[in-house]
Amino acid sequence: MPLPRVHLSHDSAFDWLTALEFGRIHDGTPREDWEGVDDDFGFLHSGVGGPIMGFMVKRFSRFDVDDPKVAAIWTASHFEVPLLGLPRASAGEVILAVRPTLGGQRTINRGYFHEAVDVQHRDPATALRLWRCCLEAGDSMAHFALGYTLYELRRYREAYGHLRYYVQIAPAAAWNWCWLGKAAHAIGEIAEARSAYERAIAIGGAETDAPTLLLGLAPSADKAPPSIDPYRRGVDGPMVEASCAQPVLGERFDRALAFAARTHRTQVRKGSGIPYVGHLLGVCSLVIEDGGGEDEAIAALLHDAVEDQGGEDMLSQIREAFGDEVAAIVQACSDTMEEPKPPWRQRKETYLAHLAEQPGSVLLVSLADKLFNARAILRDYVEVGDQLWTRFRAGRDDQLWYYRELADAFERLTPGRMASELADVVDELERSAVSP
């Protein structure tokens, strides 16, 4: 069997040295894969009882290679160390060779690591370049940082690739799975996101925000129970059981559709004269396409009924006709039920503040509503320019402020395709409306 070809990583700030097979890391590796020689030295095995694939030394500058208690470092295994030009060396020999070679300085990969950490929050784009340098210098830990940095830059598909790889080499850390869940959710892989959040919770309990993120996931196909599809029939005619991607929209949805059309019959969109029901159908479509169930779909049809068409009395009608869950979603999606309405800015600030407290069903309907509106605003701005802002109670700057706050909130609370599109639409609206 060929000797493990190890990559050296030395960090003088933390005073540790790792010599691990290329592609392996020490952080997030299962505890049972480590064989401790003493408090400061351990061998990493390829699985429990598997071959030794490297080692780690803590308090490296003070580690005594001649201590009889660590005699195993000279005999337990040998390694190939390209950086030192050693084709076959014991752990003790590697340690002795590293000390004069590095002279107490950290290896290049750790230099890039610390530089990236220093600029991460103020300049993610520069941090991204440094994380890539860290990875190219042989440090596979950089996959994790690349993943969350790409996520921050809204490059979700690339982030997913790095994070998916990272949990394979570092499966024992809760945050690794939590970040994979975020990236999977952002690209629409809801089942994988759910699985990743559940894994994070199993490993770390409440250590991460996985419990909150798991609750915020929209219903998904993998969790939907088998349903009877009245339009799917066997050759001889009788109905057969089908596992549907979405719950069937039944008679209750039909009634909600008629209810919404009747309730908003005389209402039109601001400035366009388009029947308001078009907005309701558009929001409902977005909810259904993003995995919403029948309650969310009905709430999407009725989300403006309380605010625009009757307040508390309308909410009571909705609760009686469609149930408590639908009524709760509609109420949470309403700016206010007061008449006269409070000042515009006050209502919007209150709405933004309460988003963080809402369950996934409310966030789904609210996000669909705001995305549909943002699309319409951008489209109309392209057509009529600054005249558009006269349609609203608040002017251009207030509208842009509100939609930027919404976009940031939804990306934080319920990342995914719709949240990403809302952010993109707001970016384009800001460029178009603010540019001279």
Beta strands in 166-278 (DSSP E): 227-233, 239-242
Q: Which two tokens stand for residue 71?
A: 């005699």
Distance between CA atoms of residues 112 and 110, nearest Å? 5
**161, 150 contact by CB (below 8 A):** no
Identify whether 226 is part of a domain: no
Task: Indicate whether 14 and 97 sit together in one domain.
Answer: yes
**196, 178 contact by CB (below 8 A):** yes
Asked whether the predicted pLDDT for residue 393 surpasses 80, the reply is no
Distance between CA atoms of residues 170 and 183, nearest Å? 17
Identify whether 222 is part of a domain: no
Task: Indicate whether 380 and 265 sit together in one domain.
Answer: yes
Q: Which two tokens stand for residue 419?
A: 């949240």
Identify whether 225 is part of a domain: no
Burial of 216 (0-12, 13-18, 19+ CB in 10 A): buried
What is residue 384's predicted lDDT score, i.e. its pLDDT? Answer: 79
- How far lies 204's CA from each of 190, 198, 265, 269, 374, in Å? 21, 10, 52, 49, 38
Q: What is the pTM of this model?
A: 0.53
Identify whether 241 is part of a domain: no
Task: Indicate whether 260 and 381 sit together in one domain.
Answer: yes
Express the helix, strand and coil content of the chain in percent, nearest 5 each.
60, 10, 30
**153, 132 contact by CB (below 8 A):** no
Q: Which two tokens stand for residue 129?
A: 């370049």
* CATH code at position 316: 1.10.3210.10
Identify whether 195 is part of a domain: yes
Beta strands in 130-243 (DSSP E): 227-233, 239-242
The region of weakest confidence among 19-23, 50-54, 260-264 is 260-264
Domain termination residue (choose one: 47, 67, 102):
102
Distance between CA atoms of residues 311 and 106, nearest Å? 65
Q: Which residues contact 102 (CB under 8 A, 6 or more apart)?
A: 10
Q: Which two tokens stand for residue 4?
A: 């493990």
Distance between CA atoms of residues 415 and 153, nearest Å? 13
Residue appearing with tokens 């625009």:
308
Asked whether the predicted pLDDT for residue 228 surpasses 60, the reply is no
Task: Indicate whether 184 and 325 sit together in one domain.
Answer: no
Task: Indicate whether 356 and 421 sit together in one domain.
Answer: yes
Distance between CA atoms of residues 186 and 418, nearest Å? 9
What is residue 285's predicted lDDT score, i.e. its pLDDT? Answer: 94
Task: Indicate whether 262 and 350 sit together in one domain.
Answer: yes
Q: What is the DSSP letter of 388?
A: G
In tens, the pLDDT along 326-379 reads: 999 999 998 877 777 788 899 899 999 888 888 888 999 999 999 999 998 888
**109, 134 contact by CB (below 8 A):** yes
Burial of 423 (0-12, 13-18, 19+ CB in 10 A): buried
Going by C-alpha positions, the residue among 327, 295, 323, 297 that lies closest to residue 310 is 327
Domain termination residue (choose one: 193, 215, 237):
215
Asked whether the predicted pLDDT for residue 244 surpasses 80, the reply is no
Beta bridge partners, 80, equal 5
Query: What is the β-pairing status of strands 78-81 and 52-58?
Result: unpaired
Buried b vs exposed e over 310-337: b needs ≥16 C-beta within 10 Å?
ebeebbebbbeebeebbbbbbbbbbbee
Identify whether 231 is part of a domain: no
Identify whether 228 is part of a domain: no
What is residue 435's predicted lDDT score, i.e. its pLDDT? Answer: 55
In tens, the pLDDT along 178-209 reads: 999 999 998 888 889 999 999 999 998 768 88
Task: Indicate whether 121 and 50 sit together in one domain.
Answer: no
Distance between CA atoms of residues 362 and 376, nearest Å? 21
Distance between CA atoms of residues 21 and 158, nearest Å? 25
* CATH code at position 197: 1.25.40.10
Distance between CA atoms of residues 102 and 10, nearest Å? 9
Asked whether the predicted pLDDT for residue 8 surpasses 60, the reply is yes
Task: Indicate whether 24 and 117 sit together in one domain.
Answer: no
Task: Indicate whether 319 and 180 sit together in one domain.
Answer: no
Rounded (5°) CA angle 103-109-114: 95
Residue appearing with tokens 């069997």:
1
Distance between CA atoms of residues 198 and 192, nearest Å? 10
Domain termination residue (choose one: 71, 102, 133):
102
Identify whether 191 is part of a domain: yes
What is residue 239's predicted lDDT score, i.e. its pLDDT? Answer: 32
The more confident residue out of 409 and 220 is 409
Q: Which two tokens stand for residue 373?
A: 């509106």
Task: Indicate whether 379 and 288 sit together in one domain.
Answer: yes
Domain span including residue 37: 6-102
Number of domains in the chain: 3
Q: Which residues contact 387 (CB under 8 A, 6 or more apart)?
A: none
Asked whether the predicted pLDDT for residue 143 surpasses 80, the reply is yes
Query: How high is the mean pLDDT of the chain?
Result: 86
Task: Indicate whether 277 and 302 sit together in one domain.
Answer: yes
Task: Indicate whether 93 and 208 sit together in one domain.
Answer: no
